[in-house]
A and B are shown apart, each in its own frame.
Chain A
Amino acid sequence: MENVLGEVGKGHLVALNALNMGRYKLGASCVGGAKRAFFEAVKYAKQRVQFGRPICEFGLIKEKIANMAIRLFAAESIVYRIAGLIEDRLQGVDRGSAHAGIATAEALEEYLIECSINKIYGSETEDYLIDEEVQIHGGYGYIHGNHPELAYRNSRINRIWEGTNEINRIVIANTLIRRLTASGFDLKEGFQRAAEQIESLEPFGSGEPEGLHAQTKMLESAKRIALFVVALAYSTYEKGLRKEQELLGIISNMLIDIYASESALLRSLKMLHGKNPERASIPVKITKVLFRGSIERIGFLAGEALEAIESGAPLEGHRAAIRRFTVLPPINTVALRRDIADEMIRYGRYPF
């Protein structure tokens, strides 16, 4: 009797909350694994000579190194942003008090969506980096006893346990819809409003302004597009949306991209406005390349969702609106990635 945890008959609350807690830590652990993969990959690329020079001097290897650094920067920004949110919630709670445990559980429950994003983005980042670590090592990456081979197998479980990444995607979308409706946000009415907002959004314009103003505007547009898709899906299917798992997956993938991009953007802006703005140089470049991919992906995902839900004139109108402001200002990602990679190769590890 004295070993019963929580209330009798309510064990599932303990169990499911525990998984949420696991997700916040798992993301951090995955970032660690990804940093190691990055270190090993860059080290090897600097010492492996082919065609008479180290392979880190080749464009396609630099591109890999840059993409790994970009993904890692976003994942790390997510992990500590969420840790900060949970910590903020616990300010003023006496950690030794009888109430502290429940307060921690409540803080984690509050950030259920963020913790699921953390788990998915962290584990998929780790697997992406390790896969590229194997690739950069070539045949040696496939040989037992070398780090990539071990890391490749060890990391794979992280996309499965503590809620598979598929289950977590369902959790993200369902929780978001529940929260929005519970907070008094009328999703059916919101659809109309979101549609009008979409129409009134202005294209980003051309040129490549200094700083991250364009990215800040892109993020705002991306959020409106995602909200529009959520509102459209909900007003079409209402409670039946729970059965439309592919749509829930699309919504979650948009949210994950938005959260990752925003976390990287806010961190870069904080550095840019901090004591040493020169330290923001590479993070700003990372954020620009990250946004290039994520905004286009969000536009693509929104299009897929619309085409699954609507047809005829409404579909054409909404598609055109979304297309209008996912056309991005020109940006030379090839040059930006080279700059990022050169800096990483110079450091020899993840430097932030």
Chain B
Amino acid sequence: MATSHTKIEGGMFLVADMDFHGVFTPEDYTSQQKDIARAAEEFITGEIMSRGDDIEVLDNQLSRDLMRKSGELGFLGLDIPEKYEGAELDKISSALVAEKYGYGAGSFAVTELNHTGIGTFPLALFGTEDQLKRYLPGLSSGTLIGAFALTEPEAGSDALNSLTTATLSDDGKYYLLNGNKQFITNAGFADSLPPLSWSRTGTAYQWTKKKRRWECTAPQPGPTISITSGCPWRTFSVRWAKATSWPSMH
């Protein structure tokens, strides 16, 4: 065809002829990729599918336990570098494992996918060295649960219409978050989630380890801002993932 490219650029499939030699297909899985897929399948069949309907009711403890087990076997850290206690594997392996959870883990697949995808990536890809050290090992082992707080009552598809603000405290030590997030998958028990706010000052979050919840405390005598989980939404179906909203923070 008219245009040819030496390397495959995104979207250019429309104007370039593609050669089958350069395309990765499921027939090209390496033995290591097949082993990982098989291990995931065995774990999911034995530990998750076997529980039947128990997977489909809200049970935070079971959810935490299964996340811990998934982490112990390395399935949560496929995209995380070894130096942060991840498995540091290729993207084909992580797609294969996502597929296996999608196949057999019912609603729990949502918790796992949310954690390893949008719950981990923002930190893994954009985090500072110090942030990676603090959070990635926990996200890899499943001792920390990830989530991603983007949606707001007035910001669904129009995500940039987010109204949550992050204002630097007077002493410059904290960002004070003020806003309302909803439909946040995993928020009911998540430890590590960036409530994204950029309307004024940028992205910020604060996690209080001791209380195991998100909390932003401004220096006295200023106002105290507490971020607490609201009631879980009764969703159309997915019962496991415990999407919640945070009520307005003042």
Binding site for B on A (CB under 8 A): 1-12, 14-19, 21-22, 24-33, 35-36, 76-77, 79-81, 83-88, 90, 95-96, 98, 100-102, 104-105, 109-114, 145, 150, 153-154, 156-157, 161-164, 166-167, 175-176, 179-180, 183, 185, 193, 197, 220, 223-224, 226-227, 230, 255, 258-259, 262-263, 266-267, 269-271, 273-274, 279, 352
Contacts and interface: CB of A to CB of B under 8 A. Distances in A.
Contact of B15 (A15, A32, A35, A180): A180
19 contacts: A9-B202, A14-B126, A14-B203, A26-B113, A32-B99, A32-B101, A35-B103, A79-B99, A87-B24, A88-B24, A90-B91, A95-B88, A102-B126, A154-B237, A164-B157, A193-B2, A262-B18, A269-B20, A352-B26
Interface in B1-46: 1-3, 8-15, 17-21, 23-28
For A14, A27, A96, A224, which residue has the most chain B Cβ atoms within 10 angstroms? A14
A227 B23 contact: no
B122 interface: yes
A167 B100 CA distance: 27
A83 B24 contact: yes
A3 B196 contact: no
B126 A6 contact: yes
B237 A8 contact: no
A223 B14 CA distance: 6
A338 B181 CA distance: 50
Interface string B97-137: 01111111011011001001110011111110111000000
Contact of A5 (B101, B123, B159): B123
A179 B11 contact: yes
A28 B236 contact: no
A6 B122 CA distance: 9
For B20, B116, B123, B236, which residue has the most chain A Cβ atoms within 10 angstroms? B20
A8 B14 contact: no
A167 B157 contact: yes
Contacts of A223: 1, 14-15
A161 B205 CA distance: 22
For B2, B96, B122, which residue has the most chain A Cβ atoms within 10 angstroms? B122
Contacts of B160: 12
A11 B106 contact: no
For B25, B90, B101, B157, which residue has the most chain A Cβ atoms within 10 angstroms? B25
A96 B82 contact: yes
A110 B88 CA distance: 21
B204 A4 contact: yes
Contacts of A88: 8, 24
B62 interface: no
B113 A25 contact: yes
Contacts of A90: 91
A154 B238 contact: yes
Contacts of B25: 77, 80-81, 84, 266-267, 270-271
Contacts of B11: 112-114, 175-176, 179-180
A164 B157 CA distance: 7
B175 A28 contact: no
Contact of B99 (A16, A21, A28): A28
A86 B27 contact: no
A33 B103 contact: yes
Interface size class of chain B, counting residues whose CB lies under 8 Å from the partner chain: 35 or more
B179 to A, nearest CB: 12
A162 B185 CA distance: 11
Given A15-B159, A24-B95, A81-B24, A9 B201 contact: yes
Contacts of B122: 5, 14-15, 17-18
Contacts of B24: 80-81, 83-85, 87-88
A176 B12 CA distance: 8
Contact of B107 (A16, A32, A154, A279): A154
Contacts of A161: 185
B129 A98 contact: yes
A258 B117 contact: no
Given A12-B196, A157-B235, A223-B15, 11 more contacts: A79-B99, A81-B25, A83-B91, A84-B92, A102-B125, A111-B10, A153-B238, A154-B107, A185-B15, A226-B14, A270-B27
Nearest to A111: B10
B197 A11 contact: yes
A1 B14 CA distance: 45
A76 to B, nearest CB: 6
Interface string B205-239: 11100000000000000000000000000011110
A10 B130 contact: no
A154 B237 CA distance: 5
Contacts of A269: 20
A43 to B, nearest CB: 14
A119 to B, nearest CB: 11
Contact of B9 (A98, A110, A167, A271): A110
A9 B150 CA distance: 15
